Structure 1
């Protein structure tokens, strides 16, 4: 492999010199521009395959923000490529489905996750736990405690099938999913998503620190969604908390 190729990520298209010390992973590519407003000296990496990446400075440290879209397979590809370029600390931020006591607009921090997706099985056997990094979560807890926002920490459930496992549109499928959600509540999960358990597992196997902090945006039982204004405010707070904690 050539020196140039070894210093360039295959899918995200970034060079080693375009990447910071820390990485924040987001789903929605539109968040890249919005979080960039919370950093200085921002450099936007050339977009490749719809994957947007930018690197900026926060508190004197370089932070890369990269969007993976949706789902565990591509999220771990982005993590894996950034790891190969030198990143050792990862924080996924975005949205999660809320399970009581978490309410719409609350922040939910993953201490670990139930591995109900398939991607993490390619990194470690199913008995391997998906656990967040303790030191990173300590910093996140400290920042959340001073934020004034309601927050919860606990175990996520991570699934592959949004409309088959998490969000029933109607009829028989919704009844089946309601049964699964009762199991989720019985296990005391605080939220569900499609990436966290894979990222936590991959991070451990690669030798990186990783965690997830999300805004609860959909009620798992009523399917009520957070309003646009409330989400915009929560997202701004999420950016500040994430950037402060990851660079602390």
Structure 2
């Protein structure tokens, strides 16, 4: 299950992300601003968004309302210190599926996640992308070259997904680093180049076409 956590408290955000991975076994991305949260939610698929109400930039409650107005059907859990009845109503009316008041125990958040994940949201239709002979299923995160599945590591798939959702645009290496490895990762930018090299080799396959272009001194882009 893919979860996006938007929490500007660095200690709390890091703790939530760590415990959701460790105790829940979820794949988690963590951002600290409202602008990042909205960008991430619209550019990639997440099963659940966990949004702090008060975020720098765009507030979580406004992100929630905006996403719902755009037809977003994924689960959204709001985190907030606001605990009045009016606040709860406003959060739910903005489109949140659940509302958790701070401070809370991580086990309660895990229970809320399990509860909203059991609800019958809109049916998921496979989102397919075709790259010549290569077919990428963004819904179940599989990649096939004709009848053969291309085995990608989680990082390689994240990189491919990011490039696909921004196809035709040059993505700076720093942006790729931030989106895939995150703020706290202790890896060099050379790791990006190595991951691109491995992904490129796997995608070239039988066609021999180089889908990922290197933009010298800047980054990479995907053309198809």
Query: TM-score scaled to structure 1, two decimals?
Result: 0.31
Q: Which of these two proteins has the greater Rg computed from alpha carbons?
A: 2
Q: Choose between structure 1 and 2: higher strand proportion.
A: 1
Q: Greater RCO between the two (CA within 8 Å, min separation 6)?
A: 1
Query: TM-score scaled to structure 2, two decimals?
Result: 0.33
